[in-house]
Amino acid sequence: MASRDQVKASHILIKHQGSRRKASWKDPEGKVIMTVTREAAVEQLKSIREDIVSGKANFEEVATRVSDCSSAKRGGDLGPFGRGQMQKPFEEATYALKVGDISDIVDTDSGVHIIKRTA
């Protein structure tokens, strides 16, 4: 469990042409990722977020199918982390959320994310 100075979060990551590492567990050679624009990744994630917030989709199920992060195997669960352990925009967005909230689009060197704070 997260200590007082830590948060716990899950996320859905969509990588794109501008991502620092253009490979993922779903696309080991990055062939698909290299064709995805940042704008297309953002639009996909906005649609996913709308479906989750409206109750049409479950965050963890979508993360398992869609996320380019290896945390997809755990429904997007990153476990507990403290300040300085994640890229700054990701960290700031997570700490700003209340438990149970889902972020807007968060842009990092890894790609675009939506984050659900879980603790």
User: Among residues 45, 15, 42, which one has the least CA distance to residue 30?
Assistant: 15
Residue 11 annotated in active site: yes
Annotated catalytic residue within 16, 69, 71, 103: 69
For 7-32, the DSSP string reads EEEEEEEE--TTSSS---SS-TT-TT
Annotated catalytic residue within 10, 11, 16, 67: 11
Annotated catalytic residue within 6, 17, 44, 87: 87
Annotated catalytic residue within 10, 67, 103, 113: 113
Rounded CA-CA distance 93/58 in Å is 21
Residue 16 annotated in active site: no
Residue 6 annotated in active site: no
- Which residue numbers are catalytic? 11, 69, 87, 110, 113
